[in-house]
Amino acid sequence: MEEKDQLGRRNFLAIAIGAIGAVIGVVIAIPAVAYVVGPALKRKTSEDWVRLGPTSKVELGTPTLFKTTIERQTGWIVTEEELSIYILTEDGRDYIALSNICTHLGCRVRWITDQGQYFCPCHNAAFDKIGLVVSGPPPRPLDRYETKVEDDQLYILLGG
Tally the C-alpha atoms within 13 A of residue 62's C-alpha that lie toward its C-beta. Answer: 10
- The per-residue pLDDT string of the chain (160 residues; one tens digit each, 9 = 90 and over) reads 455 555 687 888 888 999 999 999 999 999 888 888 877 776 655 568 899 989 889 888 899 999 988 887 776 788 888 889 999 998 888 999 999 999 988 899 999 999 999 999 888 899 999 999 999 899 999 999 999 999 989 999 987 5
The three-class DSSP label of residue 12 is helix
Same-domain check for residues 28 and 62: no
Same-domain check for residues 142 and 78: yes
Same-domain check for residues 36 and 66: no
pLDDT score of 108: 92
Query: Which structural domain range is residue 89 located in?
Result: 48-158
The three-class DSSP label of residue 15 is helix
Distance, CA of 6 to CA of 114 (rounded, Å): 97
Distance, CA of 95 to CA of 54 (rounded, Å): 12
